[in-house]
Chain A
Amino acid sequence: MSKKIRLGTILIYLSIILLMAWLFAPILWMLLISFQTQAQIFMKPSLEKFFPITLENYVYLFTGGTDFARTIMNSLIIAGITSLLATFIGTMAAYAIQRIPISRRVRNNVFSWIVVQRITPFLAVLIPYYVLYSRIGLYDTHVGLILAYLTFTVPFTVFVMVGYFNEIPVEVDEAALIDGCSRLQMFLRIMLPVCRAGLVVSALINFALCWNELLMALILTGNNARTAAVAAALFLPSAGRGALWGPAAAIGIFFMLPVLVFSIFVRKMLIRGLTMGIAKG
């Protein structure tokens, strides 16, 4: 009996170790490559392949004549402004949906908007954007991309914030309304401060969504408003001969760092949003 339990436990621990390796090995591999010289990269795994480490790949990214630094700046501006706008607009809508009695039809429509937005491919709005933008001069501008990013950030915020307002007791706004506040005053002076944690989380997630977005940025920007995502994706030539593997790995590591760092703090909300409220994370 006890032998059987022992075997089961060993199997469980074995699978935990295997899973850990499966999760971490790919990331670790790229991290190692990002610290190797071109010569080290082509070695078979050995001590000389991994030591000494070099920072030249990261240095190359910012001083090697690439415009990676400029694209990071673009990404920060575009993701930052989109995130603020979407969080504000989405929070207002979420408040109305969760707190003000409105007809069931409006509620259902907002909900189906969020679902349909999640279902339909980006290209269904991107193709018209491209045609329109090239006509009205929004192609390759920050404003154009920010507008496009509202497509998915606003419904996402509404979804996250409705869940958040649901956890704040209704008594909070009732008390304020009895004291003679108008809805808007109450929303700005009481609701926003009360739910600032939710606002920060939702703004961070929106920022991450925009930072990581590739397809829209690829189509709607040229050289001027190019984002870091596009720069990272275009860094390796498709044929792959003579490519700079070291700097490519450095880009991969550098690009995922900001989102990885803060998503560790907002993991719960992020996973709840991704799974539409099913998994708690």
Chain B
Amino acid sequence: MWFKRSKQSSTRQSVNREALLFLLPAIGVLIITTIFPFVYCVWISLHDIRIFYPVPVTFVGAGNYYGSLVMPIYGLWNAVYNTVIFTGASLTIEVFLGLAIALLLNKEIRGVWTLRSVIPLPLLISPISIGLIFRLIFLPGDWALANWMLTSLGLAPLNWLAEPPLAMLTLIFTDVWQWTPFMALIFLAGLQLLPPEPFETALVDGATSLKTFRYITLPLLREMFVIAILLRLMDSLKTFDIIYIVTQGGPGERTQILNFNAFVQAFTYGNISIAASQIILMSLVVIFLSAVLIRSVRAR
């Protein structure tokens, strides 16, 4: 879609000037809003800049990177740990649940059609409202939905947002609710693109549906898996809204993922240079990860 060339034929010179006229505003926006800030961010990460109290700006070279990597006070490794748990768990659940829902949606039954039209609902709701919804559901006290369900099953109510593993669980739950439909839609698109021939052969050969799924559907969906995981991974690492509203990164710093930790470092403690260095490290890792994943799709 992207590289489809138009059949227009004109002289190259005049055409390029015309293109430039059309592209100029966008290029201007690109330079002002992306390239310049990014370069400036690198500059900030190489200097010692604080906000809230004035200290002279001094060049410290790689000092902020070194400080971020070795000093626990800047929370980098705690955030790495939390990110691995949060992203790893939510992504895994979303992939499996999304695949299951996609298989269900792929069936041609009337009830399924209704479901297909409402399944994108969480994607259409503002993340801020989603944060508020789950904050209200997981409040302590047996009047909130989560604890009411526990108590009506005869279990003790839990203090979801105040205990570290539970708070993380709450966030993962919220993320799963928000993003599983996204996975399901991508897998559904993949399922509908599958060629019918292998399935017909399998049917003729008398393969069980489980075997057909394992040896035909899954391998054919491999590319979709990589794309879905890649898209979700990029956004998952940037998760901010639901954390800010549901747990505020707490209790303590136990639900601060990398992005959130950098936010806290910069705008709660004022260590803006430390935060810049952490974000640049994170961007590099994410770009590297994405490149590896994209390459693995192209290689096949």
* A16 & B186 in contact (Cβ 8 Å cutoff): no
Number of residue pairs spanning A and B whose beta carbons lie under 8 angstroms apart: 289
Chain B residues with Cβ under 8 A from A121's Cβ?
Answer: 237-238, 259, 262, 279, 282-283, 286
Given A93-B23, A150-B29, A170-B6, answer yes or no on A19-B287 (Cβ-Cβ < 8 Å).
no
Chain B residues with Cβ under 8 A from A102's Cβ?
Answer: 15-16, 19, 23
Give the nearest-CB partner of B188 in chain A: A279
Interface residues on B, range: 35 or more
Given A98-B6, A255-B126, A278-B227, answer yes or no on A29-B41 (Cβ-Cβ < 8 Å).
no
User: Which of A117, A170, A256 sits near B8, CB closer than 8 Å?
Assistant: A170
* A19 & B244 in contact (Cβ 8 Å cutoff): no
* B111 & A13 in contact (Cβ 8 Å cutoff): yes
Stretch at the interface among B30-38, B70-78, B164-172, B214-222: B30-38
Report A78-97 CB contacts with B as 1/0, cut-off 8 Å: 00000000001110110111
Give the nearest-CB partner of A238 in chain B: B248
| Complexed CA–CA distance, A77 and B86 (Å) | 36
Given A102-B16, A187-B22, answer yes or no on A107-B123 (Cβ-Cβ < 8 Å).
no
Given A125-B37, A150-B33, answer yes or no on A236-B245 (Cβ-Cβ < 8 Å).
yes
Residue among B27, B41, B118, B141 with max Cβ neighbours from chain A (10 Å): B41
User: Which of B27, B135, B142, B262 sits near A236, CB closer than 8 Å?
Assistant: B135
Stretch at the interface among A53-61, A62-70, A192-200, A269-277: A269-277
* B34 & A151 in contact (Cβ 8 Å cutoff): yes
CB distance from A201 to the nearest CB of B (A): 14
Chain A residues with Cβ under 8 A from B267's Cβ?
Answer: 130, 219
Chain A residues with Cβ under 8 A from B29's Cβ?
Answer: 89, 150, 154
Residue among A129, A274, A276 with max Cβ neighbours from chain B (10 Å): A274
* B266 & A123 in contact (Cβ 8 Å cutoff): yes
* B282 & A278 in contact (Cβ 8 Å cutoff): no
* B26 & A211 in contact (Cβ 8 Å cutoff): no
Report B115-152 CB contacts with A as 1/0, cut-off 8 Å: 10011111111111101111111010111010010000
| Complexed CA–CA distance, A224 and B31 (Å) | 28
Chain A residues with Cβ under 8 A from B181's Cβ?
Answer: 23
Give the nearest-CB partner of A125 in chain B: B37
Given A101-B6, A212-B127, answer yes or no on A281-B120 (Cβ-Cβ < 8 Å).
yes
Chain A residues with Cβ under 8 A from B53's Cβ?
Answer: none
* B10 & A130 in contact (Cβ 8 Å cutoff): no
* A271 & B123 in contact (Cβ 8 Å cutoff): yes
| Complexed CA–CA distance, A16 and B187 (Å) | 17
Is B95 located at the chain interface by the 8 A CB criterion?
A: no
Given A20-B115, A99-B8, A101-B15, answer yes or no on A124-B280 (Cβ-Cβ < 8 Å).
yes
* B22 & A95 in contact (Cβ 8 Å cutoff): yes
Chain A residues with Cβ under 8 A from B2's Cβ?
Answer: 107, 111, 162
Is B99 located at the chain interface by the 8 A CB criterion?
A: no
CB distance from B210 to the nearest CB of A (A): 13
Is A100 located at the chain interface by the 8 A CB criterion?
A: yes
CB distance from B31 to the nearest CB of A (A): 11
* A29 & B133 in contact (Cβ 8 Å cutoff): yes
* B128 & A271 in contact (Cβ 8 Å cutoff): no
User: Which of B3, B44, B241 sits near A233, CB closer than 8 Å?
Assistant: B241
CB distance from A108 to the nearest CB of B (A): 9
Give the nearest-CB partner of A262 in chain B: B124
Is A51 located at the chain interface by the 8 A CB criterion?
A: no
Given A102-B16, A150-B29, answer yes or no on A279-B189 (Cβ-Cβ < 8 Å).
yes
User: Which of B16, B248, B283 sits near A120, CB closer than 8 Å?
Assistant: B283
Chain A residues with Cβ under 8 A from B241's Cβ?
Answer: 214-215, 233
Name A's B-contacting residues (CB within 8 A). 9, 12-13, 15-16, 19-20, 22-27, 29-30, 33, 41-45, 88-90, 92-93, 95-104, 106-107, 110-111, 113, 115-125, 127-132, 134, 147-148, 150-151, 154, 158, 162-163, 166, 170, 173-174, 183-184, 187, 211-212, 214-215, 218-219, 229, 232-233, 236, 238, 240, 245, 248-249, 251-253, 255-256, 259-260, 263-264, 267, 270-271, 274-281
- A127-B279, A249-B132 known; 16 new pairs, CB 8 Å cut-off, are A16-B112, A19-B101, A30-B129, A42-B141, A44-B143, A93-B26, A96-B22, A102-B15, A104-B3, A110-B23, A120-B286, A240-B139, A271-B120, A276-B231, A278-B190, A280-B189
The 18 listed contacts between A and B (C-beta, < 8 Å) are A12-B111, A23-B119, A24-B118, A29-B145, A42-B141, A96-B18, A100-B6, A100-B22, A113-B30, A119-B290, A122-B238, A123-B259, A125-B33, A127-B44, A127-B266, A134-B51, A274-B182, A279-B189
